[in-house]
Structure 1
Amino acid sequence: MVDFPGYSLSGVIASFFFILLTMKQSDDLRVIGPAHPILVRVGEDVLLTCQLLPKRTAMHMEVRWYRSEPSTPVFMHRDGVEVTEMQMEEYKGRVELIENGIANGSVALKIYNIQPSDNGQYWCHFQDGNYCGETSLLLEVAGLGSAPNIHMEGSGESGVRLVCTTRGWFPEPQVFWEDIQGEKLLAVSEHHIQDEDGLFYVETTLVVENVSAESVSCFIYNPVLSEEKGSVISIPEKLQTELASLKVIGPSQPILVRVGEDIQLTCYLSPKANAQSMEVRWVRSHLYPAVHVYKDGDHVAGEQMAEYRGRTVLVSDAIDEGKLTLQVLSARPSDDGQYRCLFEKDDVYQEASLDLKVVGLGSSPLITVEGRKDGEMQLMCSSDGWFPQPHVQWRDMQGNTIPSSSEALTQGSHGLFHVETLLWVTNISTVNVTCSISIPFLGEEKRATFSLSESRMTVFWKTLLILGLLLAVAIGLLRRRS
């Protein structure tokens, strides 16, 4: 950022916009650009052009390309030199001014390797002394993704479930199913997920009751490019494959793991079958991105969710029997929930669900005196590191529950809960209470007891210790003087 001696940053910004607002739009200085939106595909380069009218050299003018704010330009050129101090970070190293026509007032900005984030409106701004002129143009970015892949799950009571997936689309595409006669079919679910690069992943599910139907098609359509991609699946053919007759078995009970421990997610084929040539995928709610993908004997890193990168290890020593275990290192609260384990071959998959419960048994409660007034005492019980949300109770000497004055549960950045609960005690001469914090389904709790007599005794010993230290210091000083 550029420093302006003697001026605050807000003052500089205000002055800049004041100048912009008070500049005169010259009657003989106009800027024109393309009359229609500029269409470009993801990954290609594009030229944004604008022309100064009447034609005159722009070599010594300030030429600024910007998006929403002139103060953070995409590109800025002043007196024949590129100015990079205020440039938007995402355009550094990706833009170049083409100066072939600058002597006639024609400028072109080349943007390399177009991304979905480049989509939208741009402004081309000329400034010459107190006169300025600008025009806007629209850049439409489009991405034609992969051909859809249709996976089939073996037939069940409700029919055959088909899942159509595709990646790499921009903007958000349209999706539809058709039967062999070209009639539209109604999907039971449809999900659009935008990945880290801004491209869309699509996953749509269809249930076909008539399994004797010859074929079903899935189409993905890009409305900007007016182009589509489609795939077709033959249900009778897929029902004859090896995997259609197998089942995937997972744990029958929830998997319980404490925060920081390693997670073991095991699933296997029944009856036993060699899974070396199959794709095995552990996922959360959608097929992509995944927790872990095994394919062609290796881990497919490009399809992994960001939060699991570097945290998964595949145990495949029994893969020839169809058994695989995914180890997820150092369990986090965010790992809690349901997983699906899918075996796939020849576009047919079978799956099992796994329920993972992550628990964090927090610190022992700490009871402190927060205040006293009019014969009453306020106690606070606090503890850190709990997951999921714990159950908090105050109890008296007989074990009876005492309603709290207030209770606050806050979840930190790591997903663990901090507990604070307050209790007003009216008869402070007989204070003897317990604060209990527990995870009900775990059957474990941590508690602390507060007794007024113990509290007084603690104060007495602390006072005695301080007096002892003061006495020792005084004796030491007397000895030095003597």
Structure 2
Amino acid sequence: QYKIIPPDKPVIGVVGKEVILPCQLKVKIIPERLTVQWIFTGNTKKIDVTTFDGKNTHNPVHEDNTYQGRTSFFHFEFIKGNVSLHLKNVMLSDKGKYTCSVFFENWYDEVVVDLDVAAKGDESSVSLDGPVGQGISLTCKSQGWFPEPKVVWLNSKGQTRKEEVTTQVIRTSSGIFDVISSMNLELGSDKEVSCRVVNNLLNARCESRVLISDVFFPSSAPWMTA
């Protein structure tokens, strides 16, 4: 009896990378003339991503223009029932549901694969903006995240700092998020400061750490003394 084994969890693709959308047939002998069709269903559109037609020996693969040059099958794995889709250069717009349909003779089955898309941004950087009252202002910046990341400021013990933090998340025209986060560090507080940016979907993070010298605080700066 033929059967497609459904995936056990959603697939996560990283922007700019490649990903495999699994579709595995449980069958002892694979017919040579099977047809495999992958269909994408997004929020507003439905696209026949690519089709392998085993009956067309000269040109068996038809790929939609939207995915031109970005998809391929593992043809040598067909005999093992592997009709998964190899998707290259993942984009934010690829997020959605993909239906893998398999036909041969009088048999048909399909499974749905959920593709989530994420992006890990560049390394965060912490800069000193200048004096604010008796303290100094610090800013942390990082670009290129999806979905919207979280920003956490930490002390020397790796604990969340108690200072008030202002975080601005900017969605770029491409849909990717940039973050800018600021806090004021008072003289006498823990001067080891870390800014951590976290993408929970990828379980990825980047972190930048600075150790602020007393000389940077207004009350300690030589040019502030009378």
* Structure 2 length-normalised TM: 0.77
Q: Which moved more, 1:168-177 or 1:209-218?
A: 209-218
> Aligned residue for 1:32?
5
Measure how far apart 1:237 and its partner are.
Answer: 6.1
1:404-444 alpha-carbon deviations (Å, 9 max, x no partner): xxxxxxxxxxxxxxxxxxxxxxxxxxxxxxxxxxxxxxxxx
Greater helix fraction, Structure 1 or Structure 2: 1
Matched residue type, 1:47: I
Does residue 167 of the first structure (1) align with residue 143 of the second (2)?
yes
Task: Give SS of 1:83's match.
Answer: strand
Output the CA distance in 2 between the equivalents of 1:88 and 1:46.
19
Measure how far apart 1:29 and its partner are.
Answer: 4.1
Which of 83, 86, 89 is the aligned partner of 1:107?
83
Q: 1:158 to 1:136 in 2, by over 3 A?
A: farther
Does residue 182 of the first structure (1) align with residue 161 of the second (2)?
no
Q: 1:174 to 1:210 in 2, by over 3 A?
A: same
Measure how far apart 1:138 and its partner are.
Answer: 2.9
- 1:352-431 equivalent positions in 2, closer than 5 A: none
Does residue 82 of the first structure (1) align with residue 58 of the second (2)?
no
Q: 1:218 to 1:29 in 2, by over 3 A?
A: same
Measure how far apart 1:157 and its partner are.
Answer: 2.4
Conservation of the 8 A alpha-carbon contact between 1:49 and 1:107: yes
Matched residue type, 2:110: E
Measure how far apart 1:43 and its partner are.
Answer: 2.7
Conservation of the 8 A alpha-carbon contact between 1:145 and 1:167: yes
Q: 1:179 to 1:53 in 2, by over 3 A?
A: closer
Q: 1:88 to 1:33 in 2, by over 3 A?
A: farther
Consecutive unaligned residues of structure 2, counting only runs of 5 or more, are: none
Q: 1:134 to 1:235 in 2, by over 3 A?
A: same
Measure how far apart 1:130 and its partner are.
Answer: 5.9
Matched residue type, 2:61: E
Output the CA distance in 2 between the equivalents of 1:142 and 1:92.
21
Does residue 60 of the first structure (1) align with residue 33 of the second (2)?
yes
Measure how far apart 1:238 and its partner are.
Answer: 7.3
Conservation of the 8 A alpha-carbon contact between 1:161 and 1:207: yes
> Aligned residue for 1:228?
205
Output the CA distance in 1 between the equivalents of 2:215 and 2:134.
17
1:75-99 alpha-carbon deviations (Å, 9 max, x no partner): 1222341224xx261x111111221
Fraction of identical pairs, as percent: 28
Conservation of the 8 A alpha-carbon contact between 1:37 and 1:140: yes
> Aligned residue for 1:153?
129
Task: Give SS of 1:101's match.
Answer: helix
Conservation of the 8 A alpha-carbon contact between 1:150 and 1:218: yes
Task: Give SS of 1:184's match.
Answer: coil
Output the CA distance in 1 between the equivalents of 2:213 and 2:30.
71
